[in-house]
A and B are shown apart, each in its own frame.
Chain A
Amino acid sequence: MSTVIDVKGLSVSYERKRVLSNIFLKIESGNVYGVIGPNGAGKSTLFKSILGIININTGAIKVFDKEVEEVRKRVAYVPQKDEVDWSFPATVIDIVLMGRYPHKKMLQRLDKNDHRIAEQALEKLGILDLRDRQIGALSGGQQQRVFIARAICQEADLFFLDEPFVGVDMTTEHKIIEILKELAAEDKTILVVHHDLATVDDYFNKVILLNQRLLTYGDTTEVFTRENIARTYAPQMQILQEVGMIDTLEK
């Protein structure tokens, strides 16, 4: 087990509105992390900050002890499904092969080996028979399997999944969780933004409780308690009061 992500003092705001506030976080390999918090808690923003695709206000983030730009190949991202143009003329295999792009030099073409790896990923997700289908012609569960297959095909060591179970059938959900646990067993690291509190115990061995601030994180068995959940989902007013109280105490 080693430290995969080290976040120090991360703050992000959009148009003067603070989304993430002074986050300190160490993510360790071989775990499946559930990132839990209410809407607007900054879960996706945390992902995008670590992935280096949005501007951050303050803070230092290291991934595998380096800047994320240097380790892009090892990091795979499965964004929320509503960010996808489903009418796009792309087939399943086209999309999964995208996972090979970071392994290629500028003018290098995809070869047989890349196709073999892509097909293995499809096989693993049980959708090899859909390889030539257009992405919009699939069910919600099948679509999500395609994007997971792309992440697998990338042969990454660190995975970010943003709400992967929205609009997905139960069979697919279980299949994906099974695969994530296998990956963790190979000492890879997975972070999942998740909404269904009832399944957290089963799905994740670590949780991160987030609501603009980091409330707490650690082993699910220790950290995912009724009290902590209540604190995470407490109305924003109450949090402000808490912060205000701390401020007054300090004065």
Chain B
Amino acid sequence: MEILQVLSEEWAIRALVASSLVGVMCGVIGCFMVLRNMSLIGDAISHAILPGIFFAFIIVGYSPLGFFTGTLIAALVSAAAITWIQDNVKTKNDAAIGIIFTFMFSLGVIGISYLNNKQGVHLDLKDFLFGTILGISNEDLMITGMVTLYALVSIVIFYRYLFITTFQPTIAQTMGINVKLIHYFLMLLLSFAVVAALRTVGIILVVAMLITPSATALLLTNKLKQVLFLAGLFGFLSAVIGLVAAIAFNTTPGPAMCVVATTFYFLAVYFSPSKGLLYKYIRKRKQNQQIEKEDIIKYIFKRKEESHITDIADTLGMTSSKVKSRLKGLRDDGLLIEDRGIISLSAKGAARADRLVRAHRLWERFLVDQVGLEDTEIHEDAEKHEHLLIHADILDQLDAKLGFPTLDPHGSPIPTKRLSAKNPLLRMKPRQRATISPEQISADVESQLWELGLSAQSSVQLVSIDENKVTIKVGNKTKEIPADLAEQINVS
């Protein structure tokens, strides 16, 4: 309750309004600084305004409007000096910035110290370095309000120009837009923001209010208008929360605002929906699990004997608890059948494994034939790529490009593309009747049917579907068909 009482006092309301205005303005303008790789300029200009205080004090004495005008002039002079050096002297850009801002800052410190020593004036350097938001006057507030309004309105009006000159200055030029003019206009806005922020967060931390909220917003969305809005919002929240916390805990507001802004930033770094580290971690984990699962089915597929958890764990170098958990995943996907510790693939699982082998061997063929690698150096790369290739439709294209090879570089056969039956026997229900279709997907299937004594138009009734075989009745005889064949037999 005490804090609410404090916050309802006039000086606190003034401080709240001023800092939230500055938060919004710095956040929005900062976006353009960050996107133009001009973050350092914001820091430079903020340091460079200090001599403006000194000169203003000498000329008009202690006056908010005087300080505003003085610092604004100092900011513009520094911006112009930096740009002039960058355009006309063979000094690197960031070196030019460093030279000018430290020089201006030093002038300011010397001037203010001199005033304090010689004339017994009380101008506290600390107030300018870290801000004096709690002592802000109505006149200060008026100036801040006007400047914020001007900055936001002009950004709305000239949004198009700011967007195009920031994104593609060359294109802007070919459209007849004066890129230099827009640059100076932004420098003016930046100077406004810095001068206004001087009272709230102080010289040293202005750059935090410019960069941190916009960097946060850039992690959250891909649309510039939304970036500007969110940056303004984060600037506002950082200022308000920081100020209230500072009043509550009786500490300095400027640094508190900076800490809040940085907290938002790291929350976005971890929790951003598409660019956050957490999202990336989860996706990476899912991918790894998928790769482990695929390695397991390939292992089972290639092994002629029964597979046990311990064999899999040993061969693939996984812990047996990890193998168990992946096996459970595979069972849930319907790729695997487990019976009293003996593990085998379902028809679907076998098809997946077959595709993996095909991808692996085609890729090896590609590396040898088209890239020109030796057959001794291709296995590991194929181990990685098979997991990507089986999910892409380019596998068939790759096959065609290589001229439908039958053997991999090590001499092992490459499985051919599995055609799927339109209406497979495997999808029938028990007791359902059907006839074997005259159109089968391959001559291979037809010959296997013939070996089983089945021909087109044979009428069959499904008895049961087991783990890896299908039992059917033809006339009064019972026949068993392997599940992967049943998947390829077309019925009607």
Q: Taking beta carbons and an 8 Å cutoff, which residues of A are in contact with B?
A: 51-53, 69, 72, 75-77, 79, 83-85, 88-91, 94-95, 98, 101-102, 104, 107, 110, 134, 137
Contact = CB atoms under 8 A, between A and B. Distances in A.
B62 to A, nearest CB: 40
Interface of B: 35, 157, 160, 163-164, 166-168, 170-171, 173-177, 218, 221-224, 226-227
A72 B223 contact: no
Contacts of A137: 222
A91 B175 contact: no
B183 to A, nearest CB: 15
A57 to B, nearest CB: 19
A94 B157 CA distance: 17
A141 to B, nearest CB: 15
Pick the 3 closest A-B CB pairs, nearest first.
A134-B222, A72-B176, A77-B174
B164 A83 contact: no
B173 A94 contact: no
A219 B25 CA distance: 58
A90 B224 contact: yes
Nearest to B174: A77
Given A89-B227, A94-B163, A98-B164, A53 B170 contact: yes
Contact of B170 (A79, A94, A98, A104): A79
A51 B167 contact: no
A102 B166 CA distance: 17
Contact of B174 (A72, A104, A107): A72
A89 B176 contact: no
Contacts of A94: 163, 223-224
A84 B170 CA distance: 10
Contact of A98 (B157, B171, B173, B176): B171
A109 to B, nearest CB: 9
Contacts of A53: 170, 173-174
Contacts of B218: 89
Contacts of B168: 79, 83-84, 98
Nearest to B35: A88
A143 B221 CA distance: 19
B167 A88 contact: yes
Contacts of B227: 89
Nearest to B36: A85
A51 B176 contact: no
A110 B157 CA distance: 12
Nearest to B221: A89
22 contacts: A51-B174, A52-B174, A53-B170, A53-B173, A69-B176, A72-B176, A77-B174, A83-B168, A88-B35, A88-B166, A89-B35, A89-B218, A89-B221, A89-B222, A89-B224, A90-B163, A90-B222, A94-B163, A98-B163, A98-B164, A101-B164, A102-B175
Interface of B is mostly: helix
Contacts of A84: 168
A85 B174 contact: no
Contacts, number: 61
A211 to B, nearest CB: 24
In the complex, which of the residues B163, B177, B224 has the most CB atoms of chain A within 10 Å of its own CB atom? B163
Contacts of A89: 35, 218, 221-224, 226-227
Contact of B223 (A76, A91, A98, A101): A91
In the complex, which of the residues B157, B167, B224, B226 has the most CB atoms of chain A within 10 Å of its own CB atom? B167
A89 B177 CA distance: 21
A104 B175 CA distance: 11
B156 to A, nearest CB: 11
A91 B177 CA distance: 21
A137 B223 CA distance: 13
Contacts of B163: 90, 94, 98
A79 B171 contact: yes
Contacts of A79: 168, 170-171
Contacts of A51: 173-174
Nearest to A69: B176
Nearest to A95: B167
B173 to A, nearest CB: 5
A43 B168 CA distance: 20
A89 B176 CA distance: 23
A88 B176 CA distance: 22
Contacts of A69: 176
Contacts of A72: 174-176
Contacts of A75: 174
Contacts of A104: 160
A85 B164 contact: no
Nearest to B168: A84
A104 B176 CA distance: 12
A107 B223 CA distance: 22
Nearest to A72: B176
Given A79-B171, A85-B167, A101-B177, 14 more contacts: A51-B174, A53-B174, A72-B175, A76-B174, A77-B174, A89-B218, A89-B226, A90-B222, A90-B224, A98-B164, A98-B171, A101-B175, A107-B157, A134-B223
Given A85-B167, A134-B222, A101 B174 contact: no
B443 to A, nearest CB: 34
B224 A83 contact: no
Nearest to A47: B174
Contacts of A134: 222-223
Contacts of A76: 174
A102 B176 contact: yes
Nearest to A160: B174
A104 B168 CA distance: 18
In the complex, which of the residues B166, B176, B218, B221 has the most CB atoms of chain A within 10 Å of its own CB atom? B176
A77 B224 contact: no
Contacts of B223: 89, 91, 94, 134
B332 to A, nearest CB: 31
A107 B153 CA distance: 12
Nearest to A108: B160
Given A69-B176, A77-B171, A98-B171, A91 B222 contact: yes
B259 to A, nearest CB: 26
B170 A83 contact: yes
Contacts of B170: 53, 77, 79, 83
In the complex, which of the residues B35, B171, B176 has the most CB atoms of chain A within 10 Å of its own CB atom? B171
A84 to B, nearest CB: 7
A90 B160 CA distance: 12
A90 B167 contact: yes
Contacts of B171: 77, 79, 98
Contacts of B221: 89
A203 B177 CA distance: 33
